[in-house]
Structure formats: structure tokens, C-alpha cells
Amino acid sequence: MSNNFFNEYQNTNNCSNTESSGGSCSIDPSVYALEELLLNEIKQIAFYIVKLADYNLQNENIMQKAVRALSVILINTSFKLEDYKELLYSLEADKFEVREKYLSVSKEKGIKYELVENAFKLPEKATRTSLLRLGEAIVSQKRKEYEPKKLDLIELIAFFAQTTSINIEKLSHFGYKNSEWNFQILKFLNLTNISSKKTEKLKQNICDFSQISFDIWQKLTETLENVYGKRVETGINFEIKEGKSILVSGSDLDELDKLLEAAEGENINVYTNSSLFSAFCYPHFQKYKNLIGHFGYENAQVDFTNFKGPVFTTQNFLQKIDNLHHGTIFTTKIISPEKMIRIKDYDFEPLIQNALSSAGFGKEDIQNPDKVTLKYDIKNIDNIIKGAGNNDIYVIVGSYKKEDIIKKFENRVRIELDSPVEIQLLIHILKERNCKNIKLVLTHCTPNTVNILMSTLFSNPEEIYFAKCPNTIINPHVINALVEHFGVKIIN
């Protein structure tokens, strides 16, 4: 489990063969329909928010709530219906509020008003079946409305807005608010309400929004360094120690921080999972003696089952766990899977007590494998850029199939960013080089990395290579759009 970590990180997550995986890697039609129903409410809010902006009116509270709701990506079929309904009907109330405001102002000014197309009404007494049927009707209507290639772009816009909203939501955890960015996200999403938009115009809109998403990434990386210290090159420990334990999975460093603080003084070892290995790069987290190391790769089905202790998944945990067999999982997700226990107001006491009462790891489980080094060498990167002259630079992000990929680009100038979810160094490279003669090679596919790819489109890199994506949470329409309309080459 040492030097092959990043290779395994990609390999276990990138299940594109649904036959060999028993179908666990395919998009579930019911999940897709129910997410479309949520998205449809947010799209209607976006429509009226943009209309109100024409009158120089804004509702910052509803914009913020809509963007937060947009950050929700459904994956699992077995989620808590009450969580879903609470969010859905809250959005409907917000939609009626901005709609009535828009209609009222239009009448006052004597201006002809417009109503959003395809405004489906929610049932008064909602059941899973009635909501599912409505979601299916929305999906069916969308497929009738758009020819396939344009539908690909519409799906890409929605997914790009969703994943960018995740970064806005992460920034809000640190008290950062930006109403203009909230508005720009909703304005971008509103493009999916306008069926008459030409394909070329949509492509330009996507490239324009790419700059905004890039700026949001940059603000997020700056915020993390301001809070947790300047990133440093570090070793990731895969040691397993005897004792009580908690596994933290997801991508929200602030929630890991809160848990570690709450568990200080307790005889509990805390391990990271998924992309939270990045915590080890920040000096702030080195103060926690109970942060032992990293456990597993990126396959929650395997990692959670093998872990001996409770699991905590952060708000932006995005993995499929329908087939999971594990005792106790806690979460802060807005819509939580049925098998998870909600943590409210960051009260971690139930999680801590569960860990103390669990068996934990025994002497037979102790492992002392080698560390994996997470590199962060800006000086070396700058030297490569300066020495490249007018030659192309291939920036390889991640280490999946690294040896095979390097063979494809041997005798070329390369910058290798070993982390599969690296963005900070990529931002530095693009700013230094301004994308001239830059060719991007992203070897890992998650919602984050798809967003990273799309966030570079504004600078028009010469070539982009991308990993083959699983269908679990990446809609194939999104990948089709990147290949067909933006020339992205898929790595096989």
C-alpha cells in the first residue's frame, strides 16, 4: 500500500466496465430523474434571479441558498427521502418568492413579463413514486427539446455549475461570501432554460464561465493556505496503529479540522480517506497527534468495509455506497444516504462515543508500510518552465498509468504533478505560462477533476488529455461534450 497509492486511488475509482462491476458503476435512472427534479427548481429560481437583475434587484439570501442546493449531487439510490423533500420544497418556496417579486415589479413598470419554460408543479402530497414520475417527465421533456449534441452541452453546463457551487460552498465554511459569484453561477445555469441558444454561443458561454470557475478555485486555494498555512512537500503515512479509530472521508478540510479538535484528548486514532490526504500538506494539521495517517484508496465500498471503527463522511463526500456493508457511518451531507447518521451543528460527541465503544484495530492489524511523498516543488516547476523556451510543456496531473503515459510523451518537456487532485500547482503553472504551449494531461476522473479540466477552457490550452470516466457520477453527456466540442482526448 505504499508507492502504488495514487495508481490504486485512480484504478479503484475508475470503474467503467459495468458488466464486470455488477452494474455498480452505472448511473441509476431513478437517481438521475430525482436529481433533475431538484435541478429544475434551481433552474427556475435562476431564471427569475436573472430577470430581477435586469431591474437592478437582487435577493442575496435566495441566491446563496440556491447555490448551496446546486452543490448537492445525488449518487446513491437509498437516500433519506425526508432530507430530499425538505430541500425540494424549500426551493419551491424560494422560487415562488422571486417569481412573485419579478411579476410585481414588471406590472409596476408596465413591462411585459416572461415565465420560465417547462415549469413543472410539485405534488402537494409527495411520495417517492410521485416525485420520481415528475423527474422522469422532466428528463423526457429535455430529451425531446434538444438534439443529442446540444443536449451534451446543456448537461455540461448543469454539471459545471454544480461542481463550481461545491467550491463556493467550501468557501462559505470559512465565512467567505461573494454575491457576484453566486449570481454568475445562477446566470450560467439559466442558459439551460433557453432552448433557442445556438451551440457556438453556448460554447462561448462555457469558456467565459471557465474563467469564473478558475478564479473561484484560486480563491479556495488561497483561503486554505491562509487558514492552514503554506503547503509543503510531505510524506503520507499508511501506518495502521492498534486502538480505537475514526475514518474521515470526503474533501472538506474544515470538517476534518473540527473533528480532530473535538477528539483531542480522547484515545482515538483518526485516519483520512479519499482526497483528504491533502491535509498532510498543511502545517496546521501537523499539530494533531491523533491524526495518524491515510487509510485505503478511493473505493468506499472496500475502504469502509475494511475499516475497524465508525466512519465520518464530510458534506462533499461524492461516492456510491449503496452496496456498502458497514456498521456505523456519520455525515454532514445535505441529503444523506439512509445508512448514515446525521451530525448536527458539528456535534461530534455521538461519533466519538461510538468510536470509544467499538473494537478498533488489534495487534494483528498493525502495519508499517512506506510513506508516499506528496510533492510540492514550485521552484523546480519554475525552472522547467524557464528552460522550456518555446517548446510544448506537457503537464501531467496524477499518477494513474504514469509509466505508460510518460512513454507517450517521452523526449518532451514534462511537469509531473503526482497528486490526482492537484489544482494549486496547476493554477501556478497556468498563471506563469498563460497556457502558451501548455498541454494538459489529467489522469484521474472525479467531479473535482472534471471541474478542473473545464476551469482551464477559457485559456484555450493547445491540447487536453483526460482519463476515461466512470458513469457512476459523471454523466456521459458531459464527457461527450468535452470530446465533441472542446477537442478533449480520452486516455485509454
pLDDT tens-place string over residues 53-73 = 999 999 999 999 999 999 998
Whole-number pLDDT of residue 408: 81
pLDDT tens-place string over residues 183-215 = 999 999 999 998 888 999 999 999 999 999 999
| Mean pLDDT score across all residues of the chain | 89
Residue 21 has pLDDT above 50, yes or no: no
Q: What is the DSSP string of 90-123?
A: HHHHHHHHHHHHHHHHHHHHT------TT-PPPP
- The torsion angle over the Cα atoms of residues 306, 310, 314 and 318, rounded to 10 degrees, is 30
Q: What is the pTM of this model?
A: 0.92
* Sequence letter at residue 262: A
pLDDT tens-place string over residues 219-269 = 999 999 999 999 998 888 899 999 999 999 999 999 999 999 999 999 999
Helix, strand, coil % over all residues of the chain, rounded to 5: 50, 10, 35
Q: Would you give the distance in Å from CA 170 to the centre of its chain?
A: 10
Interatomic CA distance for residues 75 and 91, integer angstroms: 20
Residue 15 has pLDDT above 50, yes or no: no
* Residue 206 near residue 157, CB atoms below 8 Å: yes
Q: What is the DSSP string of 39-70?
A: HHHHHHHHHHHHHHHTTT---HHHHHHHHHHH
Q: What is the DSSP string of 28-39?
A: PHHHHHHHHHHH
Whole-number pLDDT of residue 324: 61
pLDDT tens-place string over residues 367-402 = 887 778 888 888 999 999 989 888 889 999 886 666
Interatomic CA distance for residues 425 and 417, integer angstroms: 8
Whole-number pLDDT of residue 1: 38
